[in-house]
Amino acid sequence: MATTGSSSEGQGTSTRPYLIRALHDWCTDNGFTPYVAVYVDASVQVPMEYVKNHEIVLNVGFEATTALKLGNEFIEFKARFGGVAREIVVPVDHVVAIYARENGQGMAFPIPTASGQMPDSSAPEAPQTPAGGSVRGLRLASTEAESASSAGEPPDEPPEPSGPRPSLKRVK
């Protein structure tokens, strides 16, 4: 029986690409803008001039992308940065969060570990937001400032969420 390199014996394939697709669909169905926070290293193809601290936040909404493919191994699309069309290729295991820009609801994932080869010893050990702060529930603070790097959009402040603050629940 053949196995893939991304699955461990008896564990199946990673759930990350399925969760990314599901949250992308949820954002789209509810009129929200799906953003992904990506840990950048040599295996990620993004405009490096928009990368800060090995991280970039990308708008993956259908309005901001062309030929979007949310695959099991890679997220691929074309987008404009500063008016220039660029080809984007992101390994799924480098996506550290997907969330709705308007309200911050979404999901955070662990950053790549030894197999992802962190570039230096200052890399965080626990899941972090793209700005380096701790993951607080499903609200990713500080990502709005970096959203300027997503397809060249100016950053805007999202409306403050109403009601109780969402919380992240780990499911094994």
Cα 170 from chain centroid (whole Å): 18
Contact 89, 41 (CB under 8 A): no
For the chain, percent of residues with pLDDT exceeding 90: 56
Residue among 111, 93, 81, 106 at smallest CA distance from 167? 106
- Is pLDDT of 171 > 90? no
Class of CATH domain 16-113+126-149: mainly beta
Domain map (residue ranges) of the chain: 16-113+126-149
Please compute the mean of the pLDDT values over residues 16-34 and round it to a whole number.
97
- Is pLDDT of 63 > 80? yes
- Is pLDDT of 92 > 70? yes
Question: d(Cα 117, Cα 16) in Å, to the nearest integer?
Answer: 19
Contact 71, 92 (CB under 8 A): yes
What is the H or E stretch that residue 17 is in?
A: helix 16-29
The string of pLDDT tens digits covering residues 64-90 is 999 999 999 999 999 999 999 999 999
